[in-house]
Amino acid sequence: MNQFIPLAIPNFEGNERKYVDDAIDQGWVSTGGAYITKLEQELAKYLHVENVSACQSGTSALHLSLVEAGVKPGDVVLVPPLTFIAAVNPVKYQFATPVFIDCDDSFCLDPLKLKAFCETECDFDGNRLTYQGQQVKAIVVVHVFGNMADMESIMEIADSYGLKVIEDATEALGTYYTEGKYAGKYAGTIGHFGAFSFNGNKIITTGGGGAVTSSDPKIVDHIRFLSTQAKTDPHYYIHDEVGYNYRMTNIQAALGVAQMEELPEFVRRKQHNYELYKKAFENCDLLELIPFREGTSSNKWFYSLQINRKKITASMREIITALEKVGIQTRAIWGLINEQKPYLGEKTYKLEKAPFYASRILNIPSSTQITEEEINYVAEQIRFLLKGLVNE
């Protein structure tokens, strides 16, 4: 096979060009236009929520959520270490303090360690939870690679201490619970806020772009207001609050409306392709295809392999480089955020599984247009490569 198999690329099989051309023909190309409203309505319908605000990026969606959650300078926000850094950077935008809590085997925030941190490291007076004299205000929960976090346990803990929960569902559009208290509830609709991303590698894309929802529809209205520079008067430039240039453009939204039409099919393909990979990697003791949480229907956005480090000691960079030479693009999981320069010195709590997985996880091609032949080729080449790297 001579072609290159990318990690994750967008899929434009539907009305994308038609709707974008229509937006251009109408002259509505900036942060006003019917496609923005249409996309918000389609997202709300799909997620079974009352209100959604489209915005500039998943990062802006998270930032606006923190603003509305009342996170202020000096407050503490509990965050995961094993995720993309954009999930934590908005905490710094608010001049708040992140504290890193370990992940569980889903790569998502560990509720057992979250509970232990609140009980043993913090003080609670019945109203305010404080850590080293600073008020703990919120929790950022990331549904990593489309795998749902244990939201039932996390929400119980948050409710016990009056903490706001911000779901980073930027990788999990289409993931929902099939069992338990939240059966039928989608990622991003359980906590107080839910943020989504439509970056180029996500399950649907608007190029950039994102969206935010909340358990309180009126808060979403205020988020929309803030995202358009908080203009109070429709005729004059009157601003009673500090606003942001965080609104999605109509051209992006036109692309998003077309992508929403295809989302159910994209999810179906992701789930089907995961099963093909599962079969292709059967009986291979050099790796494990990471499963998704039971009791959920995941969008299976990204597929992850855990490399058996007892048998393979080659660095992830060596593995990635070798696969590139045979036309397969892969990537390592993120470097831990608490080990990045802007976050050195920040507090952590019992980080054990996060560093364990950080050295073992390889993400493999997961585009919705990947073929069965390509999947089998990827699996064959990875198995062949790892077999040649086994420690003697």
Mean pLDDT score across all residues of the chain: 97
Give the pLDDT confidence of 163-180 residue by residue, as tens digits.
999 999 999 999 999 999
- Range(s) of the chain covered by CATH 3.40.640.10: 16-260
Phi, psi of 117 (to 5 degrees): -60, -45
Phi, psi of 323 (to 5 degrees): -70, -35
- How much of the chain exceeds pLDDT 70, in percent? 99
Give the pLDDT confidence of 307-322 residue by residue, as tens digits.
999 999 999 999 999 9
Give the pLDDT confidence of 10-65 residue by residue, as tens digits.
999 999 999 999 999 999 999 989 999 999 999 999 999 999 999 999 999 999 99
* The pLDDT of residue 139 is above 90: yes
Contact 245, 56 (CB under 8 A): yes
* The pLDDT of residue 162 is above 70: yes
Amino acid residing at 6: P
Mean pLDDT of 358-383: 97
Q: Tell whether the torsion through CA atoms of 86, 87, 93 and 99 is positive or negative.
A: negative
Contacts of 358 (CB under 8 A, 6+ apart): 82, 333, 334, 335, 336
- How much of the chain exceeds pLDDT 90, in percent? 97
Quote the CATH superfamily of domain 263-388.
Answer: Aspartate Aminotransferase, domain 1 (3.90.1150.10)
What is the pLDDT, as a whole number, of residue 337? Answer: 98
Mean pLDDT of 58-86: 98
Contact 167, 191 (CB under 8 A): yes
* DSSP letters spanning 73-84: TT-EEEE-SSS-
Give the pLDDT confidence of 335-364 residue by residue, as tens digits.
999 999 999 999 999 999 999 999 999 999
- Range(s) of the chain covered by CATH 3.90.1150.10: 263-388
Contacts of 364 (CB under 8 A, 6+ apart): 7, 277, 303, 304, 305, 328, 330, 378, 382
Residue 187: closest CA among 105, 108, 265, 88: 108
Residue 63: closest CA among 166, 177, 150, 145: 166
Give the pLDDT confidence of 181-239 residue by residue, as tens digits.
999 999 999 999 999 999 999 999 999 999 999 999 999 999 999 999 999 988 999 99
Mean pLDDT of 133-161: 98
Cα–Cα distance measured from residue 392 to residue 223, given in angstroms and rounded to the nearest whole number: 58
Expressed in percent and rounded to 5, the helix, strand and coil fractions of the chain are 40, 20, 40
* The pLDDT of residue 391 is above 90: no
What is the pLDDT, as a whole number, of residue 328? Answer: 98
Both structure tokens of 213: 């929802």
Contacts of 159 (CB under 8 A, 6+ apart): none
Amino acid residing at 185: K
* The pLDDT of residue 392 is above 80: no
Q: Which residues of 173-209 are buried (b: 16+ CB within 10 A; e: fewer)?
A: bbbbbeeeebeebbbbbbbbbbbbbbbebbbbbbebb
Cα–Cα distance measured from residue 216 to residue 50, given in angstroms and rounded to the nearest whole number: 9
Strand partners, 351: none
For domain 16-260, is the CATH number 3.30.830.10? no
Burial class (CB in 10 A: 0-12, 13-18, 19+), 285: exposed
The radius of gyration computed from the CA coordinates of the chain, to the nearest angstrom, equals 21
Contact 38, 257 (CB under 8 A): yes
* The pLDDT of residue 1 is above 90: no
What is the pLDDT, as a whole number, of residue 3? Answer: 85
* The pLDDT of residue 96 is above 90: yes
